[in-house]
Structure 1
């Protein structure tokens, strides 16, 4: 991933959740997808400082079908969110519930 995109994901995390983030590493979630149809791709892991309850965040970009646009996601490591897979599962569940 290019540095401009990483900076954009950092900005999404910092804007949505407060504090400051720094890139740590990336994880391919397709290896962990528990069932067909679950989003797969690369989730970027960030360290978070200055947030009241989280020290990590997970961020990724997902294309919006048929639009040529993308959607940016940023989920904090807290509560039931213990890693990238849980972050993706929580977003997929929320998007399906909203549809």
Structure 2
């Protein structure tokens, strides 16, 4: 599975390509197959996102899991203060990073 990530130009938030636009939730990410370069070029040209790139991921029972730990941390938010994470009420959120 190949998904796209980047940063929203308006807010700076980490975002994930959901097939029609960008979402803050990694579980909305869709497999882009071999369309990654075309989608990234169009979205950067439209100035909706910057620093965008394609990453490997897998679909698990818990949702989409980026293959690299850097992107798992980007997906969940800060790891040192769980109250600032994207899932502050989920006591198991930090376990998804490892």
TM-score range, shorter chain: under 0.3
| TM-score normalized with structure 1 length | 0.26
Q: Which structure has the highest strand share of the two?
A: 1
| TM-score normalized with structure 2 length | 0.26
